[in-house]
Amino acid sequence: MDQQNTGELLLDWQERVGAARQERDPQSLLDMIPYAAFIGAEVKVDDQRLLYWLDKRPSNIGNPSLPAIHGGVIGGFLELAAAIEIIYNLNVSDMPKVVDFSLDYLRPGRYRTIYASCKVMRQGKQLVNVSATAWQDDEQTPIATARCHFLT
């Protein structure tokens, strides 16, 4: 993509981010990202926080004999959730760049809906640290936790 086109896309993106914040509609941000549609991630405003969820679908299975959700899908979902959390809640105009991503698997992800929520741990001048947790039946028994750094 050439420079001018990127500039136009950035302006369009900023417009949409502003509209999404105003209308309290984070789902419209997810709709802009093709990867979100690929894994089937969705989001809604729940009380004071954003609640993300990932309905089960056959293309997300990693181990067909259990069956269990692919570890990479859980990772990608949490990374996506962390990025949306930053775009929606913090005052950033561009897409945040992921620097590192660390994921701990606590339980196998069964073939059911996965929920996730994120918390911004620190926002510095350039770096943002976000922690994300994923669970299935009960929020107290998480299946994975992730910690990631983004450059904004």
Residue 71 contacts another protein per CB under 8 A? yes
Q: SS in 3 state form for 69-128?
A: ECHHHHHHHHHHHHHHHHHHHCCCCCCCEEEEEEEEECCCCECCCEEEEEEEEEECCCEE
CB of 121 to another protein, least distance (A): 17
Q: Which is nearer to another protein, 8 or 137 (CB)?
A: 8
What is the 3-state composition of the chain as percent helix, strand, coil, each rounded to the nearest 5? 35, 35, 30
d(CA 44, CA 27): 7
SS3 133: strand
CB of 47 to another protein, least distance (A): 26
- Category of 6 on φ-ψ map: left (φ > 0), alpha (ψ -120 to 50) or beta: alpha
Q: Which of 3, 59, 126, 140 binds another protein (CB under 8 A)?
A: 59
Residue 32 contacts another protein per CB under 8 A? yes
Residue 54 contacts another protein per CB under 8 A? no
The stretch among 8-16, 18-26, 112-120, 127-135 that binds another protein (CB under 8 A) is: 8-16
Q: Which of 20, 43, 54, 60 binds another protein (CB under 8 A)?
A: 60
| Site residues (vs another protein, CB under 8 A) | 1, 6, 9-10, 13, 32-35, 37-39, 58-65, 67, 70-73, 75-77, 79-80, 83, 94-95, 97-105, 108
